[in-house]
Amino acid sequence: MSDAFSTARDAFNAWRSDYPVDLYAADPHLDLVNDRYLDDDRLAGVREMGAAFGRTVVEDLGPLVESYQRHDPELEKYDGLGNRTEEIRFDPAYHEAGALVWASGLLRDAGTPGLSFEQATTFYLASLEGEMGHMCAATCTTGMTRVLRRSASDEIGETYLPSLTAVDYTEALRGSQFLTEVQGGSDVGSVASPAVDRGDGTWRISGEKWFCSIADADAFLVLARPEGAEPGTRGLGCFLIPRHIDSALNGFSIRRLKDKLGTVSMASAEIDFDDAVGYPIGDVSAGFKIMVTAMLNTSRWMNALGDAGIMRRAFLESSAYARHREAFGQRIADFPLVRRQIAQIKAEWLATLHSTWHLTALDEAVDLGTADAADTAFHRYLVNANKLTCSLAATQTVRESLEILGGNGAIETFSVLPRLLRDAVVYEQWEGTHNTLTAQVLRDLGRLDLTGAVIDRTATLLKGIADPELGRVASRALAGFEEIAFETRHSIDSPAHGAMHFRSTLERMVRAHQVALLLDAAEGGGPLAEELAAAAEFLTGRYLDTGYRAEQDPSFPSVVERLLGNDLD
């Protein structure tokens, strides 16, 4: 055999073995964001938990996930005797993986307000595997836990919360959320499923739900319209529907499982309800508000955590590959185009990490009930705007990283990247499409008069950068941000025009906030300060400084090198 073959294959093996065993220790940027928001005791706890779970992800979760990706769940409507069961069969490894995710304490932590960073760290680490099959279930179960904590009667809370927050997967209750109907997902106000009051504390729910993820869940949170309620979102009630009542199926049947692009290990279905018993959660005329504030805002936060994990993995895969793969007699890491591309992947990952950890702080304060009016307003804005920007960036980043692997990037058995790409696209679609999030933020900014608060926060952060070198980048970002602020005000004053253009304005608004957070972190000093400052400068040139052309900036290569640090050495 030619030496060339074995040399190339050795390089592949070296690339694979570069994957860290301790995902937390290998990720000083993750530790830095935790350090920015947590006191010493809590940080020590997160480090310990992250080190243990990070190893589980690499040694156990990853191989399990890999083993069942080709085995789609199957619907078994009847058992062998012809009894209707509506069971979904999974590869046994799927449940083994679920047991690991649940044992991490991710769902236990959902039961107690004030543990959002613990949840964020676990979710991020698990997302490095692209195992959205269980992360979707964990998201919906966290959302249901919060809905019940905040709005359910004591009786419902006492019945369901202990199992929703169990760490033992075999005993745990997993939740799902069904809003979308065939006539509309974004337009939740079009929900037509009727709910009839039985007068005994229960309601009967009927209707067809078009997108039902975690179709094997033990309980579903469903939006339905009480008889005689007004049309639109205001007339909707939120109901908890158990899968079984006294071991019998509770008035539902699964039409079929969806054949999906991504998140394929998890079962998404079309489900019919026919007089299913439902328990009202909170005021039956406030179902939409309950669902948005506790459920959808949680999902949008967790969605971005997943994006950050996906992007971290994309960076790990492509940077290690570039260090080992050779072309034209040199490491591909030494080609300037490759260096620039990997620097961009890193900048996008860091930006998502910092804005999503900032959102985590707000999420925790809102969940604890300690957020003041300004924090509550900023949370309302950021949870939507950040989901939009980070999910778009995740897909783009995985695509860029897949490209670094060349043809091998397109091969399912070669790396995790094809799975990450498919899951990232699904992440873009669920929990609010880009356009609907944009429309909602624009509406919120005008209707709730949030513009000042949102704009001031980023501007204040940028103006507060005192270090002269960092301040130079902050000034450039601030100049771009003034244009963004102008466009935002114009969009609110001229809604017809704004509705057409606001999405790009909004994305740049999030970019400005990300740059401000990166500069603020850089100003804190430490070994990562140089990389953070370079990431801020890179993103400022890419998104905020409209007159900037990297092609005309002789210092651009040094920005790339400072951003990369020794990642490609």
Is residue 110 within 8 A of residue 150, CB to CB? The reply is no
Out of 139, 141, 213, 250, name the contact with ligand FAD by CB under 6 A. Answer: 213
Out of 24, 94, 203, 211, name the contact with ligand FAD by CB under 6 A. Answer: 211
* β-pairing verdict for 219-226 and 175-178: parallel
Residues in 337-376 at the binding interface with ligand FAD, rule: CB under 6 A:
none
**What residues pair up with 563 in beta bridges, in sequence order?**
none
- Which range touches ligand FAD (CB under 6 A), out of 117-125, 185-193, 405-413, 471-479? 185-193
Smallest distance, ligand FAD to C-beta of residue 443, A:
9
Complex with ligand FAD: residue 45 or 189, whichever CB lies closer: 189
Dist CA 217 CA 326 (whole Å): 48
- Can residue 13 be called a binding residue for ligand FAD (CB under 6 A)? no
- Can residue 415 be called a binding residue for ligand FAD (CB under 6 A)? no
Q: How far apart are the two ends of the chain, measured CA to CA in Å?
A: 30
- Can residue 139 be called a binding residue for ligand FAD (CB under 6 A)? no
- Can residue 491 be called a binding residue for ligand FAD (CB under 6 A)? no
Is residue 219 within 8 A of residue 240, CB to CB? The reply is yes
- Can residue 538 be called a binding residue for ligand FAD (CB under 6 A)? no
Complex with ligand FAD: residue 105 or 184, whichever CB lies closer: 184
* CA separation, residue 230 to residues 40, 226, 285, 508 (Å): 51, 9, 9, 38
Smallest distance, ligand FAD to C-beta of residue 216, A:
12
Dist CA 307 CA 428 (whole Å): 10
Helix (H) or strand (E) segment spanning residue 322 = helix 297-324
Complex with ligand FAD: residue 216 or 537, whichever CB lies closer: 216
Complex with ligand FAD: residue 24 or 178, whichever CB lies closer: 178
Complex with ligand FAD: residue 299 or 355, whichever CB lies closer: 299
* Cβ burial 332-347 (10 Å sphere, 16+ → b, else e): bbeeeebbbbbbbbbb
Complex with ligand FAD: residue 213 or 344, whichever CB lies closer: 213
Angle between helices 451-463 and 434-447 (to 10 degrees): 100
Dist CA 366 CA 360 (whole Å): 10
Token pair belonging to 71: 């085995």
Question: 53 phi and psi, to 5 degrees?
Answer: -70, -35
Residue whose Cβ sits closest to ligand FAD: 185
Residues in 431-470 at the binding interface with ligand FAD, rule: CB under 6 A:
433, 435-436, 439
Out of 285, 408, 429, 475, name the contact with ligand FAD by CB under 6 A. Answer: 429
Dist CA 483 CA 434 (whole Å): 22
Smallest distance, ligand FAD to C-beta of residue 383, A:
15
- Can residue 505 be called a binding residue for ligand FAD (CB under 6 A)? no
Question: Count residues contacting ligand FAD (CB under 6 A)?
Answer: 22
Specify the residue for token string 């005791």: 41
Is residue 86 within 8 A of residue 249, CB to CB? The reply is yes
- Can residue 180 be called a binding residue for ligand FAD (CB under 6 A)? yes
Complex with ligand FAD: residue 213 or 386, whichever CB lies closer: 213
Strands (E), 98-251: 175-178, 194-197, 203-213, 219-226, 237-242, 244-245, 248-249
Complex with ligand FAD: residue 435 or 460, whichever CB lies closer: 435
Out of 117, 349, 430, 556, name the contact with ligand FAD by CB under 6 A. Answer: 430
Is residue 161 within 8 A of residue 146, CB to CB? The reply is no
Out of 160, 178, 321, 349, name the contact with ligand FAD by CB under 6 A. Answer: 178
- Can residue 177 be called a binding residue for ligand FAD (CB under 6 A)? yes
- Which range touches ligand FAD (CB under 6 A), out of 48-56, 146-154, 210-218, 490-498? 210-218
Dist CA 496 CA 25 (whole Å): 50
Longest dimension (CA), the chain: 80
Q: Count other Cβ atoms within 10 Å, centred on residue 411.
A: 12
Smallest distance, ligand FAD to C-beta of residue 424, A:
12
Complex with ligand FAD: residue 50 or 262, whichever CB lies closer: 262
Complex with ligand FAD: residue 325 or 387, whichever CB lies closer: 387
Complex with ligand FAD: residue 67 or 433, whichever CB lies closer: 433
Dist CA 534 CA 540 (whole Å): 10
Q: Which of 393, 376, 384 is CA-nearest to residue 438?
A: 384
Smallest distance, ligand FAD to C-beta of residue 283, A:
21
Token pair belonging to 54: 């990070």
- Can residue 185 be called a binding residue for ligand FAD (CB under 6 A)? yes
- Which range touches ligand FAD (CB under 6 A), out of 79-87, 399-407, 426-434, 547-555? 426-434
Angle between helices 495-523 and 336-368 (to 10 degrees): 100
Specify the residue for token string 């971290």: 312
Smallest distance, ligand FAD to C-beta of residue 145, A:
16
Out of 36, 260, 340, 463, name the contact with ligand FAD by CB under 6 A. Answer: 260
Binding residues vs ligand FAD (CB under 6 A): 176-180, 184-187, 211-213, 260, 263, 268, 426, 429-430, 433, 435-436, 439
